[in-house]
Each structure stands twice: as C-alpha cells, then as structure tokens.
C-alpha cells in the first residue's frame, strides 16, 4: 500500500511547478535524520533567504501550531540549512536538505500544512504533510530510546 506523506497541493498560481519530493530513508524515525530532496521548475527567480513558510500543525481537529517562519529559520529548527544558489534562476530547480525529526513529537496522527511565499508575497509552494506517530508505528526499543516511523516515501504524481 502506498501512502503519500508529502502532497503538493500547489496550483498554477505558484512559482514552483512539477514539484517532486523524495524522503531518504523512506521510513524515517523520530530523533533521526531524513534527507528531503525536492525537484521542480521555477517560473521566476526569488530570494530563498527571504521566503516565508506558514506552518499549521494539527492533531486530529485540534490546531496545535500556526506560525510563520523565514525558510532559513524553519530549516534551522529542523537541523537543516540553505545551500547552493540562494536566488535560483527560472528553470529546473533542485534543493536537498538534511533534517532531524524531533524526538519529542507527541504520539498522534499529525497533519502539517505548509504554505511558502516569496518576500514579494507570491505563492511559492503548498504542501500537505501527513505523519502518523501512533503507538502501532512505534518501533521496538533496544537501546532505551523510543521513536516512531513514517510508513512510506512520497512522490508527486
């Protein structure tokens, strides 16, 4: 069974088109690194350091977080950082981030809505991210550390 963890819900008004996302490992665990590879096509150049990301995190129907970060600040919170061309030109675009999934995420099914915009207010991308950190996906503990795993890799159509 294929489960889509990261779904691109952008439309024609967004600057990033044809977005594909790959997570490595395909089943990352809390407290561990995950590699986030994105490829797509940029319709115009923008400054990655000034892009903003609105993050809404929900547990079921309850909104637990609704906060806006700059892209560099959001990546820093997850142990990542920007690299490469910080003002990429229009055309094919690739970005890779090594992120650290927090170990202290509550046991629950999470929905994260991420909406990114350029500093001029243009829509950059829209992602819906579904994570299940319920007890049934918690791996056995052998070292005293607990963690949960994400079930599948996600790719854009």
Is the pLDDT at 147 greater than 70? The verdict is no
In angstroms, the CA 120 to CA 110 distance is 30
pLDDT for 109 equals 75
Mean pLDDT of the chain: 82
DSSP secondary structure letters along 87-133 = SPPSEEEEEEEEEE--TT--SSEEEEEEEEE-TTS-EEEEEEEEEE-
Q: What is the pLDDT of residues 8-18, one digit of tens each?
A: 999 999 999 99
Q: What is the pLDDT of residues 51-108, one digit of tens each?
A: 999 999 898 888 988 999 999 999 999 999 998 899 999 999 999 999 987 777 776 7
Is the pLDDT at 5 greater than 90? The verdict is no
Q: How do the residues of the chain divide into helix, strand and coil, expressed in percent and rounded to 5?
A: 10, 45, 45
Copy the structure tokens of residue 146. Answer: 């607990």
- Identify the bridge partners of residue 125 per DSSP, sorted by sequence position: 116
Integer angstrom CA distances of residue 28 from 36, 80, 96, 105? 11, 15, 16, 14
129, 114 Cβ separation under 8 angstroms: yes
Average pLDDT over residues 17-24: 90
Indicate the SS3 state at residue 15: coil
- Is the pTM higher than 0.75? The answer reads yes
- Identify the bridge partners of residue 4 per DSSP, sorted by sequence position: none
């Amino acid at each position: 069974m294929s489960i889509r963890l990261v779904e691109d819900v952008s439309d024609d008004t967004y600057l990033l088109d044809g977005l594909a996302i790959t997570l490595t490992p395909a089943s990352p665990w809390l407290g561990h690194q995950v590699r986030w590879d994105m490829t797509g096509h940029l319709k115009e150049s923008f400054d990655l350091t000034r892009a903003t990301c609105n993050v809404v995190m929900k547990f079921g129907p309850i909104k637990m977080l609704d906060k806006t970060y700059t892209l560099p600040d959001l990546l820093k919170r997850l142990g990542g950082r920007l690299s490469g061309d910080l003002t990429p030109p229009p055309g094919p675009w690739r970005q890779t981030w090594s992120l650290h999934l927090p170990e202290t995420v509550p046991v629950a099914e999470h929905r994260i809505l991420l909406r990114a915009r350029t500093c001029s207010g243009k829509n950059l991308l829209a992602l819906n991210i579904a994570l299940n950190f319920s007890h049934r996906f918690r791996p056995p503990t052998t070292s005293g550390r607990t963690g949960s795993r994400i079930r599948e890799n996600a790719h854009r159509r």
